[in-house]
Each structure stands twice: as structure tokens, then as C-alpha cells.
Amino acid sequence: MPRRKIDGCPIAGALQLLGDKWTMLVVRDLFAGPKRTTELLEDLHPISSRTLMGRLKEMERDKIILRNNYGGLPRRVEYELTERGRRLTPLLDALMKAGQALDCNDCEDRKQQLGYYCDFCPKVRTEDSYREQRFVEEPLPVREPERAPTRREKDDPIVLL
């Protein structure tokens, strides 16, 4: 499901899919389970509602998240990760480790600033819940060789009078 063709490299394709700074933060916040739009807005402060809704629509189109509209008044909509979105868990781990190695932030910084850890934080996550979410590499689909179109037998000639 390519967005645009750059050079065909999987890294370039993944960056097109995930290159926006809010995408992986949405994935991080949906890691623990479905959330409503207002919960995401609160957790992703200072994202604007317009930016969040744009990212959610793009992520839904890219099949990273699933939008569940429960209807009713007031409207109730929740977002959750799809199986494709859950495959990003190793990337979240790698980003967290890189942030710690580069001394960018610490989990305690968020706790002090917002009063709670993010759902992906190892201080909140149990090893069992993480193990359930672990990405299992699936074999690449085997492509069947393209077959040449079969030739149709020629129709009987029709004689027009």
C-alpha cells in the first residue's frame, strides 16, 4: 500500500508511513488498548485537535489503526491498533532505548510533568503484557509467476448480408 514512490527502498516507504512526529506517539498511546479522541488529545498535549484528526485519518487509511464508531449522543468514537499497527512495537522499543541512550528524556520527566507514565513505559508494563504484544516476523508472501493471458479461440466468422 505505497503512498508515493521515492526509490522503492523499504526504509523510505516506512518513513513515509511513519515520518510524522505524532504517528509513533499515537501508536505508543494506543499500545495499551483503545482510546477515545479526547483521551488521545489529553495524552498527546500540545497536539491540536485538527492535527490529531488528520493523523488519525491517515493512519486509518494506512491500516495502522481502526476507528470504531459506537454512535449515540454524544458521539462515541474509539481508536485501536490493528495487527499492522502492533507490528510497530519493536520500533517503539528501539526509539525508547535510543532516547535513553542519547539522554533525551527519562520516564520520570513525564511522570513529573504530567503526573503519570505513558502506557508503553517499562515501569507500567508487565512483562506478560509486553510478551503478548511482541511482533512475530511473518514470512514474506510468495509471489506466483505471472501467467501470460490465455488466448481465446477465434470466434466463428459471422457473415453479414
Question: Omega before 34 cis (within 30°)?
Answer: no
Neighbour tally for 133: CB within 10 Å: 15
25-39, 70-84, 114-128: least confidently modelled range:
114-128
Q: 115 or 42: whose pLDDT is higher?
A: 42
Q: What percent of the chain shows pLDDT beyond 90?
A: 35
Residue-wise pLDDT tens digits, 43-75: 888 899 999 999 999 999 999 999 999 888 888
* Closest CA relative to residue 29, chosen from 110, 105, 103: 110
Q: What percent of the chain shows pLDDT beyond 70?
A: 73
Q: Is the pLDDT of residue 37 over 70?
A: yes
Q: Is the pLDDT of residue 120 over 50?
A: yes
Q: Where are the beta strands (DSSP E) in the chain?
A: 35-36, 65-71, 76-81
Question: How much is the CA Rg of the chain, to the nearest whole Å?
Answer: 23
Contact predicate 157/133, CB 8 Å: no
How far is residue 40's CA from residue 25's CA, in Å, rounded to a whole number? Answer: 10
Domains by residue range for the chain, with CATH: 10-133 (1.10.10.10)
Q: 150 or 86: whose pLDDT is higher?
A: 86
Neighbour tally for 1: CB within 10 Å: 8
* Closest CA relative to residue 105, chosen from 39, 18, 25, 35: 25
How far is residue 58's CA from residue 135's CA, in Å, rounded to a whole number? Answer: 22
Residue-wise pLDDT tens digits, 69-113: 988 888 889 999 999 999 999 999 998 888 888 888 777 877 787
118 CB-contact burial (10 Å; exposed 0-12 / middle 13-18 / buried 19+)? buried
Q: pTM for this one?
A: 0.69
Of the pLDDT bands very low, low, confident and very high (cuts 50, 70, 90), residue 143 is low
Q: What is the mean pLDDT of the chain?
A: 78
* Closest CA relative to residue 84, chosen from 61, 65, 69, 56: 65
